[in-house]
A and B are shown apart, each in its own frame.
Chain A
């Protein structure tokens, strides 16, 4: 009998008594982890991750005080792929963020990690946004070594609610982060997510959104900054299941050295969903000849009255703009940094974020570029 992909990894988990949910474990042990013959995983190989010996560990939550945010006491199994099964099998508790109807919250900041060395963290998180409520959640996932953080987050945004969510995934070491989000949107609800991934060994972030009622909108965007041997796989899957729904995906990727970045962008429009608008734009900047960027738009449209656009560009920095600045005495490194910064900022300018969050994100990008604090906003 040929063994499934990752069998030894699972057996090691089993032998340390990590399995809390045998049914999920058996399902996973039977199907195994997805290998690169699975279309959704053709660019990302988990072999290195599955060769590791990791110690299951709980999620460490550090957050600013908020009565609405805390540990998730009632974990529900999420119907995702093998990684969701692993999460369910090991029974990871995560966080719970519940915003009551009509509430208007100040931004909530939560930080996950860093973990103990060689930890395997599984977490099941739940976010509910009540009718007409508005919230901004900033999540920071980070670790310093080669641990693996794996999570599933389910989100419900009720009628007229609005969640803006920043997911900052930043690793100091060569860690692995695999995070999936499954969002369901009610009538006139909005979910605007911005994933920012920096550092790490392998990051795969999935954003799934079901637009189930008229008037709702999902914005699933990402800023991907990778260098060295880093690998990022950003996956979106928007399903327009009701008429008069809109979605927007803005992905900006910067890859240097031998880094790899993938964007798999899905938009699906079901047969009865008329008057749909779905936009998707992926732009990648290649700062090195050996870096790689892949974009795979996947549009499945079964309705007639649909406006869907998708675009993908891969290129170098604008040489005319570089020369313009160089001719005025701006040093090469500074000119390049200004251009990359402008490029990377594009997705978060559209989100109308509180200034403190914008400044924080700007700082992250500048830090990545090695020009922290160099370009201050001027008060004119």
Chain B
């Protein structure tokens, strides 16, 4: 599904951050990238989602087909843009790409209500502006709702656990787990092992100084939790 080959990338000012990433994610797989601060975790997410300000030097990242994939970063507040309007616009953009008819307000509201209910999201939250005044838990719930509505083939979850208490973490993890499907893959980026108790990965990769220095199964995450990142530091 996602093939990253020899990816070298950095900031537009010339700073190199990723120094040759190789990663292959198959359909339906959940991969986790762990690593210390400054190892290039968020840069990986930003580059995969096409955020401006980054520069790919060499290598490639290819995603099968033309489907959008979603980067799950720190939610931005967008005052004045109603959450439901934003969601309808995004869903219809996706439908257009797939050659489906756009949903009118009535049809969309029906779909929105059904998905929101599963995540414990009330109408009042959908009436508010995107992420404005949302608590940490509400923001993550809202992001999970977007995933459910947009049905990406690949979702990149960048530091989803930051600032979440255990209850909020569980809601998000339940949402993600409910979306696990044979044709949908996840790349979970995290500093701590904690999130991986809830979203159990098939593969874990340790990122250090812009390179993947070790790959393994979920037991690798537990090892990091015990010993820290020091022993994996790139030589």
Interfacial residues, chain A to chain B (CB-CB below 8 A): 318-321, 323-331, 334, 338-339, 341-343, 345-346, 375-380
Residues of B within 8 A of A343 (CB): 80
CB distance from B103 to the nearest CB of A (A): 11
Residue of B nearest to A340 (CB): B80
CB distance from B149 to the nearest CB of A (A): 9
**CB within 8 Å for A342 and B94 given contacts A327-B51, A330-B89, A378-B108:** no
- B93-136, CB under 8 A of A: which get 1 and which 0? 11001000000110011000100000000010011011000000
Residue of B nearest to A324 (CB): B76
**CB within 8 Å for A330 and B150 given contacts A339-B78, A378-B108, A380-B123:** no
CB distance from B54 to the nearest CB of A (A): 11
* B86 and A330 form a contact (CB under 8 A): yes
* A342 and B80 form a contact (CB under 8 A): yes
In the assembled complex, B49 has its CB within 8 A of some CB on chain A: yes
A262 to B28, CA, bound (A): 56
* B78 and A324 form a contact (CB under 8 A): yes
- B44-86, CB under 8 A of A: which get 1 and which 0? 0000011110000000000000001011010111111110111
* A380 and B86 form a contact (CB under 8 A): no
CB distance from B28 to the nearest CB of A (A): 21
In the assembled complex, B185 has its CB within 8 A of some CB on chain A: no
A42 to B23, CA, bound (A): 62
* A380 and B126 form a contact (CB under 8 A): yes
In the assembled complex, B146 has its CB within 8 A of some CB on chain A: yes
Q: 16 A-B residue contacts at CB 8 Å?
A: A319-B52, A324-B73, A324-B130, A327-B49, A328-B90, A328-B146, A328-B150, A329-B68, A329-B94, A330-B89, A339-B78, A341-B80, A342-B81, A343-B80, A376-B105, A377-B85
A330 to B83, CA, bound (A): 13
* B80 and A378 form a contact (CB under 8 A): no
* A339 and B81 form a contact (CB under 8 A): yes
**CB within 8 Å for A379 and B105 given contacts A324-B75, A338-B81:** yes
* A323 and B79 form a contact (CB under 8 A): no
* B88 and A329 form a contact (CB under 8 A): no
Residues of A within 8 A of B81 (CB): 321, 338-339, 341-342
Instruction: From A326, A343, A345, A346, name the one whose CB has the most chain B CB atoms within 10 angstroms.
Output: A326
* B51 and A342 form a contact (CB under 8 A): no
**CB within 8 Å for A327 and B70 given contacts A321-B78, A342-B129, A380-B126:** yes
A345 to B129, CA, bound (A): 13
A111 to B85, CA, bound (A): 32
* A329 and B97 form a contact (CB under 8 A): yes
Residues of B within 8 A of A380 (CB): 84, 109, 113, 123, 126-127
